[in-house]
Amino acid sequence: MHVQRNGIAVECLQGDIARQKDMEAVVNAANAELMMGGGVAGALHRAAGPELAEAGAPMAPIQPGEAVTTEAFNLPNDYVIHCLGPVYGRDRPEEELLRACYQNALHKAEEHHIQSIAFPSISTGAFGYPVAEAAAAAMDEVTGQAPYLTSIQMIRFVLFSNEDATAYETALAQSD
Residue number, 100 or 147, with CB nearest to ligand ADP: 100
Residues that bind ligand ADP (CB under 6 A): 16-18, 29, 39-41, 43, 85, 120-127, 158, 160, 164
Residue number, 7 or 76, with CB nearest to ligand ADP: 76
Residue number, 65 or 85, with CB nearest to ligand ADP: 85
Q: How far is the CB of 113 from ligand ADP (least distance, A)?
A: 25
Q: How far is the CB of 166 from ligand ADP (least distance, A)?
A: 12
Return d(Cα 25, Cα 164) in angstroms, integer. Answer: 21
Residue 150: count of CB within 10 angstroms of its CB: 7
Q: CA dist 129 to 11, 39, 68, 83, Å? A: 21, 14, 21, 15
Q: How far is the CB of 173 from ligand ADP (least distance, A)?
A: 20
Find, among 161, 77, 85, the residue nearest to 129 by Cα.
85
CB-nearest residue to ligand ADP:
125
Residue number, 32 or 59, with CB nearest to ligand ADP: 32
Find, among 172, 165, 111, the residue nearest to 141 by Cα.
172
In 80-130, alpha helices (H)? 94-111
Q: How far is the CB of 34 from ligand ADP (least distance, A)?
A: 13
List all residues 6 or more positions away from 58 whose beta carbon is below 8 Å from its beta carbon: none
